[in-house]
Amino acid sequence: MKNVIRIGTRDSQLAVWQATLVQTQLRSKGIESTLVFIKSDGDIDLVTPLYELGVQGIFTKTLDAALLNNRIDLAVHSMKDVPTQMARGLEQAAVLPRASYKDILVYQGDKESLFPALGWVNDQWLPNSELTPSHLTIATSSVRRKAQWLNRYPAHTLDNLRGNVNTRMRKLSESHWQGAIFAAAGLERIGLRPDNTLELDWMLPAPSQGAILIACRENDPTSREAAALLNDPHTALCTRIEKDFLRVLMGGCTTPISALAVIDNNNVLFRGNILSLDGKEKAEIDCFSPIDQTEQLGKTCAEKLLQKGGDKIIASIRNA
């Protein structure tokens, strides 16, 4: 093994937490490492909506370049930020055990009026058909979250919200919004999840949401072997299926595609969907497979979704 492995990370609190987790787990295996802090383009531009930036891997490409230039040996990413096709010369070395995959609403205002407007009644979500029309303003920079929100609440206004989780929480507290949507894992990992939250059980997550990926150079077996000691096979399997689904649909941060694979009694249960940008059109799929027969599951589910109307939605997004 190398004397000290260089771990590259963005310098946000969440990114540093994730990299420090990797560093701690490597140390438990007798492997020493040091953190190298690198600012990504996605951290610099906190105004432009992600869908307008139009760049695959906006939060990962700077670390990718540092890996390829041998400035670092490992890069730690929130896996949902990683493009379906990694940069040439790089490979996935490990995926850590998944945290919560759920999205949550951090809300503001009077619960007595807000909860009925959202359809949160008796600690459960009402089906769309039973919702009373309401006019709220919710913040998110994610086209996936926006599309799913508008599908359920077509009269709501969605405002853009960019920045790391700390910045977004601050912007929310200073705003007129009734709430903002976050990944549960991001807030929970750094102890920022407040009491005023609701888990959006009806919202399907981004592919590989809640998972942490470690990347390395293809020609660096020492770093690969070190990172592989931390790999969680079940998380790696489920996130691979979700990424395969995304890859076939040719989706990225500008496409409202969601996917979730979970393991239950040696079977994999998969759910996926795609929506139009305005949330009015939706195609969804549910699949099931024994755990030892999942090599093509993501691809097969994506092809079935295309046949169920997903192809028309993708065409409309491209035209837009």
Residues noted as catalytic: 81
Q: Cβ distance 35 to 15 under 8 Å?
A: no
Distance CA 103, CA 206 (A): 9
Q: Which residues of 9-47 are buried (b: 16+ CB within 10 A; e: fewer)?
A: bbebbbbbbbbeebbebbeeeebebebbebebebbeeee
Distance CA 267, CA 263 (A): 6
Question: Which contiguous run of DSSP H or E holds residue 89?
Answer: none
| Dihedral sign, Cα of residue 2, residue 211, residue 206, residue 150 | negative
Adjacent-strand bridge partners of 92: 215
Pairing mode of beta strands 157-159, 212-217 = unpaired
Distance CA 106, CA 251 (A): 27
Distance CA 119, CA 133 (A): 10
Q: Cβ distance 258 to 204 under 8 Å?
A: yes
Distance CA 165, CA 192 (A): 8
Radius of gyration (Cα) for the chain, nearest Å?
20
Quote the tokens at residue 121: 């009644």
Length of the chain: 320
Whole-number Cα distances in Å, 200 to 9, 50, 111, 142: 29, 22, 16, 15
